[in-house]
A and B are shown apart, each in its own frame.
Chain A
Amino acid sequence: MDRQKISKADLGRWLDTIAGKYELIGPTEDEDIIQFGPVQSSAELTLDYANSLIPPKSLFFPPVESLFAFRKRGKEIQLEETKPLQQDRVIFGIRNCDVGSLSLLDRVFCDDLEDSYYRERRERTTLIALACPTPPRSSCFCTTFGIDPLSPAGSDILLTDVGDVYLVDAVTDKGEKLVALGEDLFVSLTEGEEKELQPPPVDMPQLDVGGLRERLETLWEDEYWDKLSLPCLGCGICTYVCPTCHCFDISDVGSTADGVRYRCWDSCMYNDFALMVSGVNPRPSKRERTRNRYFHKFSTFPSRYGTGYACVGCARCLVHCPGGVEITEVIKDISAKEGVSDR
C-alpha cells in the first residue's frame, strides 16, 4: 500500500475503532513508569515516551504465565489448558529496537522447537510501530546493530511523526486491514507531500562491532571478566529489561493434587541459574556469569541461530544496571585491539 497520512487529531478515533474490534495494547504511564498494557480507549495512552521500561517481549513471552492447571481426583488426572489469548490484539507504539528483538525471539520460540504459546500470541497480534522521537535518547544505539528507527521492517504498520500528521506505511495484509478500519481518516500523499513530509534523520552514536564476535571468542580466559564483573551486584535487572533475553524457569505452584504449572522469566545472572542438582555450579561466580551474558549476546546466539548479534541497542541495561556495568563499554573494550585487560 502506498504511503498515506493521518492527522494527529484523528489518531485517537482510529485507535478507538481498533479497540472495538481487537484488544488494544499501548504505552501507558503509571507510577512514573512507561509500560505496554491493555487499554479500553486511546485516551489512556501516552505518546510522551521514549520507550517502555519492560520491553514488549513481555506481551509474547510474559514474565509469568500459566501453562496449564492440573487436578487429581482419585486415579484420574485432569488437565486444563491455558489459552494464551482471548482475542486478537493490536500493539500500538512499539519502537523498532523492540520490533527487531521479536525477530530474534522468533528464532528461539518458532524455529525447530516451536513454542505454541509464543507462536499464537505472535500470529494473533498486529504491530503498529511508532518511529522514534528526534533526537533519540542519548543512550540509544540501535543503528549499531543495523536497526533503522524509521523503517517499517518487522512491523505491520509504521507511523512516523512529521508535525501535524503521521505518515502511515502499512506493509502487511494485517496492517492494511487495520488501515481499512480507519476508512476516510487516511489520505494518500500528494507528490509534493511525498517529497516534503520527511522525518528528520536520526542521529545517534554508532559503535564499531565489526569483528566483535571473533575478538570476543579469543577472550574466554581473559582477566577482563574479573574486573568487569566487580561492580555487578548479581541482580537480574539487565536480563529482565533486555528485549532479547529469553531464559525461563518452569515450576508447579500448589500441591501435587491441585496446582498450576507456571513458566516465568529466569536470569542467567542469578547464582542458582546454572546450579545443578548435584550441587555443581558451572558458573560459580559473577565472573563466569557476566562473561556468559556477553558471550551469549555476541557469540553463542549468532552461532546457534545464524543471526546477527542478540542486542538491539535499546540501552535499557545500560540505563538501569545499578552497578554500572555498561554494555557499550564492553563492546568498545572487546573491540579495542589492545588494552582489553586494563580497564
Chain B
Amino acid sequence: MEDKLQELVVELLGDGAMEYFIGYRQGFEPSHVVPCFVTDQSEADRLIWGPLCLQNLSKYVLQARDLDGKVGLLVKGCDARAIVELVKQHQIERDRVVVVGVPCEGQVDPRKLEQVLGVPMEQVIDVEDAGDEFLVTVGSEVRKIGKEQVLRDKCFFCKHPASFDYDYTLGEVQPFTIDGDSEEYDAVEKLEGLPLEERRAFWQKQFERCIRCNACREVCYGCYCKECIFDRTAPRWLDRPPLLRENEMYHLIRAVHLAGRCIDCGECERVCPVNIPLGRLYKKLQKDIAELFDYEAGMEYDTVPPLVDFELDDQDPFL
C-alpha cells in the first residue's frame, strides 16, 4: 500500500494537482511515526503507512488555506470526519483538499502495547498488520499480539469510514470490525454512575497535573478560532497560571465549545503529555449530543451541529 501511496503522490505533485501532501513518515525511532510534509516528488519515498500512523492530520489543512493550490492529505476513515466538519463549519472548501483514503485495520495504542510487551516502545522495531493480530518485532523476536489487546479504544467502534467522498483510495475503505469486551460508552457510564463528589474528585485529580501546554487545543481540528478565548487579555476569561481552578475551566470550556463538533478522533488524549483521559470527557459529550439531539458529528455535509444551529422563530425568546 505504501508503494501505491508513493506513486499517487508523485503523480499528483507532478501534475500540479496539489502544492504539498501530508502523510506519515518514520521518526527518530522505528515505532515513532510523525507527520510528513511532501513538497517535492523526490521526498515521496519517505511516506509510510501502518498501525502506528496515529495522528489525525486534518488539522494541518487549515494552515494550507493560504496556498494558491490544493493540499493533499492521507486520512483514516475516522479522521475523514474532521474534513466533513471543517467544510460545513465553513473553514475549508472541499475542492481545495485532495483527500486520499486508506483502508485501516485498526491502530495500535502504544501505551497498551508497552504493557502487553513489558518493554518500552523504543525497543519495538516493527508492527505489522496481520488480520486478527499484529506481528510485533522486538529485537530479533517477532511476537504475535491479538489486536483486541492493544488497539486504540476508538478502533473497537469503527463505524463510518466508507461514508466519506474520498478523491482517491488506496484500496477498499470499509469499517474495521473486531469483538471487544466492552461497549462504546462503558467508561463514560462508569463515571456517570459515581456520586457527584467522587466524579469531581476524579476530574480534579486529572486536571491538577495539567501543565497547560495547549497541545490538546492545537491538535484539535475544531480549535480554529482566530483568537481563542483562553488567549484573550481584555477581558481575561481565564488566568494564565496553571492553577487547578483555571485548568478545570480550561478543559470544561474547551469541551463545551466542541460539543456536537467533536468527531472522537482521540487526538487530545493521545498528545497530552501528562496522560489526562480527555477522551472520556469528549465521549461524554458525544453521548449527550446523540441522546439529546440524535446527532453525530462528521457524517453529512448538509446537517448543522446542534449547538451551532438556530432558528429565528425559536420558542426560547432569548435567542
Q: Which residues of A contact B (CB under 8 A)?
A: 31-33, 53-54, 63-64, 137-139, 227, 230-231, 233-237, 240-241, 249, 251, 253, 262, 264-267, 270-272, 286, 318-324, 326, 328-329, 342
Contact = CB atoms under 8 A, between A and B. Distances in A.
Contacts of B273: 53, 237, 240-241, 320
Contacts of B239: 251, 253, 262
B231 interface: yes
Given A237-B215, A270-B231, A324-B25, 5 more contacts: A233-B271, A235-B213, A237-B271, A321-B34, A326-B27
B39 interface: yes
B240 A264 contact: yes
Contacts of A233: 59, 215, 218-219, 271
Nearest to B30: A138
Contact of B27 (A240, A266, A271, A324): A324
Given A137-B122, A271-B231, A318-B28, A236 B241 contact: no
Interface of B: 20, 25, 27-29, 32-37, 39-40, 42, 55, 59-60, 63, 111, 120, 122, 209, 211-215, 217-219, 231, 239-243, 270-271, 273-275
Chain A binding surface SS class: loop
A139 B37 contact: no
A67 to B, nearest CB: 11
Among all A-B residue pairs, the 9 with the closest Cβ atoms: A324-B34, A235-B215, A322-B271, A233-B218, A262-B241, A235-B218, A264-B241, A236-B213, A64-B241
A82 to B, nearest CB: 13
A328 B28 contact: yes
A138 B243 CA distance: 35
A268 B8 CA distance: 38
A138 B214 CA distance: 27
Contacts of B29: 138-139
A196 to B, nearest CB: 30
A266 B213 CA distance: 9
A320 B271 CA distance: 8
A193 B209 CA distance: 45
B211 A231 contact: no
10 contacts: A233-B59, A235-B214, A235-B215, A235-B218, A251-B241, A253-B241, A262-B240, A270-B231, A324-B27, A326-B27
B275 to A, nearest CB: 5
Contacts of B60: 230-231
A31 B209 contact: yes
A253 B242 CA distance: 11
Contacts of A328: 28
A63 B28 contact: no
A333 B29 CA distance: 17
A319 B28 CA distance: 8
